[in-house]
Amino acid sequence: MEIVWQTPANPPEARDYIIRDGKRFVRPYYFEFVSYVKNRWVGKTVVDLFAEEFTGRPREYYVGAVKSGRIQVDGQVVSLSYRVRSSQKISHFLHRHEPPVLAGSISILQKEPEVVTICKPASMPVHSCGQYRKNTVVGILQAEHGLTPLFPVHRLDRLVSGLLIFARNPSKADQLRQQIEAGLLHKEYIAKVLGVFPEGEQVVNANIDYNAREGRSSVETADKCNGKHLKGKTACTKFTRISTNGIHSIVLCEPVTGRTHQIRVHLQHIGHPIANDELYLHHSEVIAPRSTKRMHPESAAMDTYQPSPVLESSYDVNSNEEFSIDPMCTNCPNLGPKGYDGDEEGLWLHCLRYSGPDWTYECPFPDWAFLL
């Protein structure tokens, strides 16, 4: 079988996706990852470099990849003893498996000459990041609706659903982003929180300190810091209860500032965390991130290397199509990469409405927002 290597220039296509068991998978594909030699890598052999820096695969995998030419330097096959030099281009050709996302469809809300708005399903990243390239809002809109280019005006965390605004040209994107930076936008979200949220508008002014290593934010207040300088950024959110059933409440959330996880951590701070938010449900509990190791995006969440003797194919009963199983791939014969096998639930946080000086875009309420 002839291997066709893809690069970021290859656009996603509708046939790239497989829907299985309520999840959207990407059919595994061959991809060239490119990096350039950093100063700390200079003088290392290619095998040592990968084994030490990209620990998601064992050393024997990298030995085989160099021997077979799947790891190259400046476009050339090199020996196991080759030592890299500064700024050289290193290519890693591999069988790429993207993590699955929930299989919800992307609803196009408005399609205008300069703006497209959509309702983003939970669990789907907006654009390429980490191991996600095709399984993204931008990728799927291009593959299934022919919408390209698109310029995200704002972003939503992967687990958050709701309104996303895309400009269709750079000048419109700059105009809308300038309005955001100038504080001219009014943003509204809804959340399903624990407990009976109090009546009336609740305003939270509390600094937020984001810990990138842990992937979570924390609230800083003067009393907690005992007079020490607050290192977090100022943050303000307004909350108003919409409804309650005595167990949960639906709350309108209006962030005045835009800090990482602002709504989530402010709700936790006042004792009403989002009801399915594992990261912030317990005030004193720090949930470990999926990984704190530094890994190349293509090597995260992959462990043992068990090469197959021949190139095979696997039959997918839902799509009635085949996908290739690569003999050197550490993820085959599964569709998704190792480490993404568990069930994932979208966060009960939804972007409802964005309003500017002379425009408003909004998104329908999600099913979970109607309490019984």
Which candidate in 48, 157, 209, 316 is catalytic? Answer: 157
Between the two ends of the chain, the Cα-to-Cα distance in Å is: 56
240-262 residues labelled b (16+ CB within 10 A) or e (exposed): bbeebeeebbbbbbbbbeebbbb
Contacts of 146 (CB under 8 A, 6+ apart): none
Contacts of 181 (CB under 8 A, 6+ apart): none
Q: What is the C-alpha to C-alpha distance for residues 183 and 366, in angstroms, rounded to an integer?
A: 27
Note if 157 is an active site residue.
Answer: yes
Q: What is the C-alpha to C-alpha distance for residues 151 and 138, in angstroms, rounded to an integer?
A: 9
Three-state SS for 224?
helix
Q: What is the C-alpha to C-alpha distance for residues 308 and 48, in angstroms, rounded to an integer?
A: 24
154: DSSP letter: S
How far apart, in Å, are the Cα atoms of 346 and each of 20, 101, 192, 205?
17, 10, 12, 27
**CA 257 to mean position of chain CA atoms:** 22
Q: What residues are labeled active site?
A: 157
